[in-house]
Amino acid sequence: MKYHIENDFKKKSKISIAQVKTLEIEILRTFVTFCEEHDLKYFLAGGTLIGAVRHQGFVPWDDDMDVSMPRPDFERFRELTSDGKLGQFEIRSTIHTPEIHARPFDRIVDPRYMTSVKVDQMFIPPWIDVHALDGLPTDPKEDKKHWQTARFYKWWSLRARKPLCLEKNILKRFVKWIVFAPARWIGPKYFSDKLTENGKKYSFYDSEYIAAYVAGYGRKERMPRYYFTDGEEKMWFEGILCSVPPHYDLVLKHMYGDYMRLPPKKKRVTHMLGAWEVDREDKKNGK
């Protein structure tokens, strides 16, 4: 199956990033309600967790959301949303939409709108990302090997899906077309699935250490499991009472150091370049 950038839409009217955030808040509200109804564990993650702790909502210059789930709860979430729907929202994943989202995490989107972003997938509907937390080896040598495998599959997955048109140098584009042709023929879903398969080797609840192995920032995310399982904690995020790691302070210090201090202005960057309400094109009718 060929991987492509999502382009089956027509722009209608431009909306502000503030409106995008409002849409994402509704996605989060639907997700939180769903998890509470089905007794699924989840946690605010990354910049979203910093936002809850430091701002009780979005970090002012942030424009997306991240949540994480223990692998068993993540898989259960997938089972309960096997139709690719969460209320009025859609779920993008290697199961539901591998042709436009062949990454090892799920993305809940509002397809009525579209954003232009600064990454290789040029257009994405307003979204929140849902990451699985997996167990890790206890032995340092095995752990190092485990992360090397992750880097291998991530690297090839990126090469299999990154549009070659982003390479401005014609010669480099030609060379990459030849070198990465086998990976592009195999497709990024293959590499994402292999990465997920490898991540599942170690049980979340039976491991001393855990991480967002398949879609995180790498070995720096290795943390003791008790940071996430030693009790329960909730915080407000834009008026929604959300679950956070019970040892959120240790999690954030581990990942970001002095997370309560605002970063330099040059690092206060956004993901989005613009956003629009859109009409979806009917490919079957050739529109």
Rounded to the nearest integer, the mean pLDDT of the chain is 91
CA separation for the pair 265, 267 (Å, rounded): 5
Could you give the CA distance from residue 280 to residue 10 in angstroms, rounded to a whole number? 6
- Six token digits for residue 207: 């491991």
∠244-49-17 over CA atoms, to 5°?
A: 135
Q: What is the mean pLDDT of residues 52-70?
A: 96
Give 163's pLDDT tier (boundaries 50, 70, 90).
low
**Residue 69 structure tokens:** 């789930």
Q: Residue 1 has what pLDDT?
A: 58
Task: Determine contact, residues 234/243, Cβ cutoff 8 Å.
Answer: yes
168-186 in b/e burial notation, b at 16+ Cβ within 10 A? eeeeeeeebeeebeebbee
Question: Percent of the chain at pLDDT above 90?
Answer: 75
Q: Give mean pLDDT, residues 221-238.
A: 97
Question: pTM of the predicted model, to two decimals?
Answer: 0.91
207, pLDDT greater than 90: yes
pLDDT of 67:
98
What's the confidence (pLDDT) of residue 287? 36
Task: Give the pLDDT confidence score for residue 173 in this predicted structure.
Answer: 62
User: What is the predicted pLDDT for the residue at 175?
Assistant: 64
Highest mean pLDDT among 26-35, 99-108, 277-286: 26-35
pLDDT tens digits, one per residue of 19-52? 999 999 999 999 999 999 999 999 999 999 999 9
